[in-house]
Structure 1
Amino acid sequence: MWVITLYSKENELCMYEFTSEKEARETLAKLNGSKILSEVIYYNDPVFAGN
């Protein structure tokens, strides 16, 4: 999961969730204000089980 945290000029905090990095980066380029892009990894997710 990808999360954008946006601090707007009106001092508002907004968070947006995305399932793909591509979608998150496209949205990140369109947003104005201070922004942080984060990848959230759940270690109990079967994708990371390594089996």
Structure 2
Amino acid sequence: MWVITVHSKSNVKLFEYDTEQEARGAFEKMAGYKILTEVVYFNDLCLVEA
């Protein structure tokens, strides 16, 4: 999961995306102070040993 956090003078907004490509596309279009973060959960399949 990818999250964009946008800060403005009076509030903070969070936007969630499933793919990096989708998030980066939206990130470029947003104005203001913004942070792009990848969220990795401990139980994600990529981290679980077979």
Calculate the TM-score normalised by the size of structure 1. 0.86
Which sections of structure 2, spanning at least 5 residues, go unmatched?
A: none
* Cα distance in structure 2, aligned partners of 1:5 and 1:46: 25
Which sections of structure 1, spanning at least 5 residues, go unmatched?
A: none
Superposition misfits of 4+ residues, deviation over 6 angstroms: none
The percentage of aligned residue pairs carrying the same residue is 42
1:47 and 2:32 matched: no
Equivalent pairs counted in the alignment come to 50
Show the counterpart of 1:31: 30
Deviations 1:1-51 (A, max 9, x none): 00000012x432100000100000000000000000001100112232131
Calculate the TM-score normalised by the size of structure 2. 0.87
